[in-house]
Amino acid sequence: MTRQQVTEHLKKKGKKITEAAIQHALDRANAKKAVTSAATPVQKSARVVVVKPEPLSSAQRLDLEMSKLNAKRDDSAKLLKESMERQHFLEKENAALLEIQGREIEPFTIEPKKGSGTSEAIAFMIASDWHNEERVDRGQVSDLNEYNLEIFSQRAKKFFSGGQRLWDIMRRDQSVPTIVLGLLGDFITGDIHEDSSETNHLLPVFAAENAQDHIASGIEFLLENTDAELVIPCHTGNHGRTTKQQRIATEQGHSLERMLYKGLAMKFSNDPRVNFQIADGYHSFLRIPGMGKNEGNEFLIRLHHGHHISYGGGVGGITIPVLKAISNWNTQSQYRNVNLDIFGHFHQYINYGSFVCNGSLIGYNAYANSIKASYERPQQAFFMVSRKEMAKTMSTPIFVE
């Protein structure tokens, strides 16, 4: 197709005749011709003709350059806008910094708080998971711990002396007339596991007597070195039983620890400062009445050993299983307002908002090593509950090594 043919064709179509339009039509005609030629079978003797596009005309080159310039102009405008916005932000930030640097600091006075002497709190010393007769050799636990009857006795003494020391510190600016000494079970290991019966230093009954002697000594120490009344809630653990399998409804009737508590209660039955509360079931409850702004309210505490909380391991630890158990227990209408759960069993000290999990006196042992439990120092829990604030106000471990 020639230029003249293209011009006549455009006239018939009523299209504007420009150099660019003519060239565009020629390019399309040549391209179509090239495709048609390629689709026609080629004889071996035929030559393949390569159609080269005609060079751009001056008008086409001008249009192309104008398009490039327009694109560059749009990009430049966008970059300029972003740059101006960034500069405005930096100027505001710099002005704020200069204002701060030039500002004169005006300290205000903080008055030291002095105790009014009218507030009152309850001290809690939690004892559990002593496993007094169990043997732990250093070689069993990568040299992390050792436990025998002598070490047990030393740690039990440190528990009571450490608790008395903390009580003395806490009562300097408030009244602390009561110590709750929670005895939450597993003071003996027993023979529920065959390997324990082979390695324990004492038979179960003698181990219960050993624990009983040390607890009695500790109670006498607190009576002599404090002026506080002692409230002693008692719970059986899962190790002090006389059966191989754990009992539910008849747990108390198969527990050596219940006999241990009964003997202690009889020994101190004539002391008006000692009040034993031996649980008949899995849970027991302690109500602390409020005072001051919380007059008429109460802080409700639930105590138990902890062995009815299901935990199958996992990197998240016991927190989620504990919170699920607490939520289920709190569906009971009379106990929906429980403020704090206290338990042991898991051999790890955890101070959480709604619960305190007690550590252990025995510390890291062969069983903990076998289940890949994290190492924890031997420790027991101490914390305070304020009657004025109706809250757990301080919690700390008592290290017993």
Same domain assignment for residues 130 and 162? yes
Same domain, 87 and 9: no
Instruction: State whether 19 and 165 are in the same domain.
Output: no
**361's tokens:** 């006196």
Residue 361 domain flag: yes
Do 302 and 381 have their domain in common? Answer: yes
- For residue 363, name the pLDDT band (cuts at 50, 70, 90): very high
How high is the pLDDT of residue 272? 97
Residue 109 lies in a domain: no
Query: What 3-state class would DSSP assign to 283?
Result: coil
Task: Report d(CA 217, CA 235) in Å as an integer.
Answer: 19
β-pairing verdict for 120-127 and 340-343: unpaired
Q: Which of 261, 277, 352, 269 is nearest to 309 (CA)?
A: 352
Q: How confident is the model at residue 51 (pLDDT cuts 50, 70, 90)?
A: low
Contact 214, 156 (CB under 8 A): yes
**Domain total for the chain?**
3
Whether residue 289 is found in the same domain as residue 317: yes
Query: Do residues 302 and 334 make contact, with C-beta atoms less than 8 angstroms apart?
Result: no
Q: Is 105 part of any domain? A: no
Q: Where residue 181 sits, what CATH number does that domain have?
A: 3.60.21
Q: Is residue 111 part of a domain?
A: no
Contact 91, 83 (CB under 8 A): no
How far is it, in rounded angstroms, from Cα 156 to Cα 217? 10
Is residue 264 predicted with pLDDT exceeding 60? yes
The reply to whether 112 falls in a domain is no
Shared-domain flag, residues 90 and 199: no
The full DSSP string for 135-157 is: -B-GGGGTTS--B-HHHHHHHHH
105-151 per-position pLDDT tens digit: 788 787 776 666 678 999 999 999 999 999 999 998 999 999 999 99
Neighbouring C-alpha atoms within 13 Å toward the C-beta of 140: 16
Q: Residue 12: inside a domain, yes or no?
A: yes
Across 5-19, 44-58, 76-90, 336-350, the highest mean pLDDT is recorded for 336-350
Residue 59 lies in a domain: no
pLDDT in tens, 66-93: 777 777 777 778 888 888 888 888 888 8
Residue 395 belongs to some domain of the structure: yes
Is-contact 356 395, C-beta < 8 A?
Answer: yes
Sign of CA dihedral 366, 372, 373, 376: positive
Q: What are phi and psi of 255, to 5 degrees?
A: -110, 125
| 16 vs 14: CA distance, rounded Å | 7
Domain that holds residue 325: 120-399
Residues whose CB is less than 8 angstroms from the CB of residue 58 and which lie 6 or more positions away in sequence, other chains included: none
44 and 177 in a single domain? The answer is no
Given a cut of 50, is residue 269 above it in pLDDT? yes
Same domain, 181 and 324: yes
Based on the fold, state whether residues 94 and 166 are members of the same structural domain.
Answer: no
Instruction: Judge if 35 and 73 occupy the same domain.
Output: no
70 and 194 part of one domain: no
Task: Give yes or no: residues 125 and 209 share one domain.
Answer: yes
Residue 260 Rama label (left phi>0; alpha psi -120 to 50; beta): alpha
Distances (CA, A) of 154 to 15, 147, 150, 182: 109, 10, 6, 20
